[in-house]
Amino acid sequence: MTEILDQPWELSPSVALRPEPFGALAYHFGNRRLTFLKRRELVAVVRSLGGSPDARTALARAGVPAGQWGAYAVALRGLAQADMIRRRDTGDTGGEER
């Protein structure tokens, strides 16, 4: 269930975040989906995904208590299914570059 936390993620390049008092609105310009991020901590996690080696690190950087990581994994999975976040290509192919 929490394997998503061990993977590298980033905000989809087609998504814009608009800060709001409750957290943020995420709008996907490709599929025209609007998603409400209802916790400021979740917004901090989503913003830091691209600069973190994995989602677990992004959670730690945002100050989310480890006991809440399971709930955040569910939220991140939903954002991934909506294409708000996507797996980040780390460029590690395991072989020589040609």
User: If you average pLDDT over every residue of the chain, what do you get?
Assistant: 91
What is the predicted pLDDT for the residue at 94?
47
46-66 tens-digit pLDDT: 999 999 999 999 999 999 999
Q: What is the pLDDT of residue 1?
A: 55
Say if 89 falls within a structural domain: no
| Domain count across the chain | 1
What pLDDT is attached to residue 87? 96
Q: What is the CATH number of the domain that holds 50?
A: 3.90.930
- Residues β-bridged to residue 15: 28
Report if residue 76 sits inside a domain.
yes
In a domain, 56, yes or no: yes
Distance CA 40, CA 24 (A): 7
- For residue 11, the model assigns a pLDDT of 97
What is the end-to-end Cα distance of the chain in Å, rounded?
Answer: 37
* 98: in domain: no
Which parts of the chain have pLDDT scores under 50?
93-98
Half-sphere exposure of residue 70: CA atoms within 13 angstroms, side-chain side: 2
Structural domain of residue 44, as residue ranges? 3-84
Residue 96 domain-assigned (yes or no): no
